Amino acid sequence: MYDEDKDLYKEVYLENKLTKNEIRQFEQFDYLTEVEIEKISDLIFDLALLAKKIITE
């Protein structure tokens, strides 16, 4: 069965994930810690991946 944790599709796009610096360009996130920024980066990436799947199916 399909296992999303092993989704290599995700790996293909991983190189396009937003970097911490790119997120810090926005004033409202500049004060956040490294861990918090990293979490936002993960969440945004997963959401974008999901949106792409939904709109292309």
Partner 1 sequence: MEKNKLIKFQKFGKKNEVKTNSSKEVWSYTRVSSIDQKDNYSLLNQEQDIKKYAEENGYDIIHPFGGIYESAKEDFTRKEFQKLINAIQKSRRRPFAVIIYKMNRFSRSGGSGVGLAEYLVNELGVHLIEAISGMDTTTEKGQLEIYRKLLSAREENITRLEHTIPGMESFLKAGNWLGVAPMGYDHYGTRVHDFDKRSMQQNIRLNEVGKKLQLAWQWKSEGETDVEIIRRLKELGVEITSQRISAMWRNIFYCGLIANKLLKGNVIEGNHEAMVSKELFLKVQDIINNRKQGYTVVKQPEERPLTGHLFCSVCGNKLTSYEHKAKKLHYYKCQNCNGSCINTSTPLSRLKNKGAHEMFVDLLDSYQLDDKFLDLFKIQLEKMLGSVSKEKRNEDSLVKKQLTELKNKKENLEERFAFKEIEYELYNRLLTKINTQICEIGPKDDISENKISNLKSQLNKSVEFTQNISKHWVSASIGNKKRIQKVLFPDGLVIDTKNRQYLTSKVNSLFALKRSISDNIEDKEKGLTTNKSDKSSTVAGTRIELVTSGL
Interface with partner 1 (CB under 8 A): 1-4, 6, 8-9, 11-13, 15-18, 22-23, 26, 28, 32, 35-36, 39-40, 43-57
Kindly state the smallest distance separating residue 25's Cβ from partner 1, in Å.
9
The nearest distance, CB 5 to partner 1, in angstroms, is: 10
What gap in Å lies between CA 36 and CA 22, rounded to an integer?
A: 14
Q: How far is the CB of 22 from partner 1 (least distance, A)?
A: 7
Residue 4 has phi, psi (to 5 degrees) of -65, -20
CB atoms within 10 A of CB 20: 13
Q: DSSP code of 26?
A: S
